[in-house]
Amino acid sequence: MRPSCAPAALATLLLASACATTGAHDPSDPWEAMNRKTYALNQEIDKAVLKPVAQGYVKVTTPFVRARVSSFFANIADVGTGMNDILQGKLPYAINDFGRIVVNTTFGVAGLWDVASGLGVDKRDEDFGQTLGWWGVPPGPYFVIPFLGPSTARDAPARAVDPQWFYSRAIDNSAVAWGLWGLDVVQTRAQLLKATNVLEQAALDPYLFTRDAWLQRRRNQVYDGKPPLEDEEK
């Protein structure tokens, strides 16, 4: 559940890192042998299940419907963003994010429309992994999570803390809860269809391509787009 600009940003990073993957050992990825096996497993699951379902979702829905679904889940994600802004001491940003929730939930009809962005209240993206990074917790080794994809030793367990990972637990009807979770997975994968097409066409080594792009994007997220020089972090 990320802002709609995320797929475009990912595609840009993939293209930018196309020439950077040399195959040399990367100290950020000491578990590369294991990660490659998990990556291959995830790719097979994606090709067999997730990608076809996402393509079918795009075929049977209109852009209008997909935009409403995306806005709905993005509104839920703003809860986690606001809470993590508080944990990071970014109170003005927290007011911004909770203000978005109020505006979009009321005037945007339960978040189906992103009214707040139209009013100049910009969408932001924070999670607990970013909060840990903000307070100096190092990312640790790159880690590919089975079924979920790229992460790090810091960010993987942090996923369980973010509200968007367990919001459906508040719904008593298990069919509705699982249905919402499934819809969220499918709509997120549908947003990434174009980015993965770029990956498949441009990457000599898709694993390295994905790793380098993901780590670069994640570092930018932790430092709000202004990461320090590498030697300044050491």
- Name the one residue in this structure whose structure tokens are 């000599």: 204
Give residue-wise pLDDT tens across range 83-120. Answer: 999 999 999 999 999 999 999 999 999 999 999 999 99
CA atoms within 13 Å, Cβ hemisphere of 70:
23
Mean per-residue pLDDT of the chain: 85
* String of DSSP letters for 123-179: -----HHHHHHHTT----SEEEETTTEEEETTHHHHGGGSGGGTGGGG-S-HHHHHH
For residue 44, pLDDT over 70 is answered with: yes
Give residue-wise pLDDT tens across range 2-11. Answer: 444 444 444 4
The pLDDT-based confidence of 226 (bands split at 50, 70, 90) is confident
Q: DSSP strand E in the chain: where?
A: 142-145, 149-152
The segment with the largest mean pLDDT, out of 61-70, 164-173, 179-188, is 61-70
The pLDDT-based confidence of 19 (bands split at 50, 70, 90) is very low
The pLDDT-based confidence of 15 (bands split at 50, 70, 90) is very low
For residue 188, pLDDT over 50 is answered with: yes
Check residue 165 and give its pLDDT.
59
Check residue 228 and give its pLDDT.
82
Check residue 106 and give its pLDDT.
97
The pLDDT-based confidence of 136 (bands split at 50, 70, 90) is very high
Check residue 180 and give its pLDDT.
87
- The pTM of the full predicted model, rounded to 2 decimals, is 0.80
* String of DSSP letters for 45-70: HIIIIIHHHHHHHHHHS-HHHHHHHH
**Can you tell me the mean pLDDT for 200-227?**
88
Where do the domains of the chain lie? Answer: 6-10+47-225
Give residue-wise pLDDT tens across range 48-63. Answer: 999 999 999 999 999 9
Residues whose CB falls within 8 Å of the CB of residue 59, separated by 6 or more in sequence, listed in order: none
Cα(200)–Cα(197) distance, integer angstroms: 5
**Can you tell me the mean pLDDT for 160-182?**
74
**Can you tell me the mean pLDDT for 124-148?**
95
Span between the terminal Cα atoms of the chain, in Å: 32
